[in-house]
Structure 1
């Protein structure tokens, strides 16, 4: 199997094709820190004791991941609520997911949908 050659980062360092340059990692961390400063904390976004109780009840009723069938550990909003409490509490928009499915495919899907402009 052919191996891709290393590339040159914008900072001028040689970087293996399958790796990120330290400057890229640092810029990404700084960008995330700036975003986190403006983001409300979890309880301000609605994830409080009332949510914890509703989540536990939902997981008892729907114990398996809808994507892969493993034991579910998270209740996910099928469509991002973006702070809208009507969408947040609409149980028809909830689904049980395991951590790998939520952290992987679901997050990639949401990022892709968030980037594409809606007509």
Structure 2
């Protein structure tokens, strides 16, 4: 039996499991505001040297530490927050697939903040 639709705060009826267009637009606007205040990748320390180090690390640690899938991201276990020593410490790095970096790891970091 299908679940009933819900009513959004804007008054629109939305099918179960879907988000209202106003909520999608609100999230996009919030993300744009956040990105506008965020320093660029280069300002956060992600330079050509860091890309070379990332490629080398992934060569030695090719699998996601969570699921074993091919890793595409080198993640800082403890967020470096601009600390260059922590940024470059390989003991603070872990290989993750994009899925786990963008979901599980981000939830974990938000919970710690």
Q: Same fold (TM over 0.5)?
A: yes
User: Which residue of 1 is the match for residue 19 of structure 2?
Assistant: 20
Q: 1:71 aligns to what SS in structure 2?
A: coil
User: Which residue of 2 is the match for residue 4 of structure 1?
Assistant: 3
Unaligned runs of 5+ in 1: 115-119
User: Which residue of 2 is the match for residue 45 of structure 1?
Assistant: 44
User: Which residue of 2 is the match for residue 59 of structure 1?
Assistant: 58
Deviation at 1:34, TM superposition (A): 0.8
| Cα distance in 1 for residues equivalent to 2:24 and 2:72 | 30
The two structures, once aligned, show a CA RMSD in angstroms of: 1.5
Q: Extract structure 1 runs of 4+ deviating beyond 3 A.
A: none
User: Which residue of 2 is the match for residue 108 of structure 1?
Assistant: 107
Unaligned runs of 5+ in 2: none
CA offsets per residue over residues 26-69 of structure 1, 9 Å max, x none? 11111111111110111110000110111111112212211111
User: Which residue of 1 is the match for residue 81 of structure 2?
Assistant: 82
| Cα distance in 1 for residues equivalent to 2:44 and 2:21 | 33
- Count matched residues: 113
Q: 2:75 aligns to what SS in structure 1?
A: strand
Deviation at 1:17, TM superposition (A): 2.4
Q: 1:18 aligns to what SS in structure 2?
A: coil
| Cα distance in 2 for residues equivalent to 1:38 and 1:112 | 21
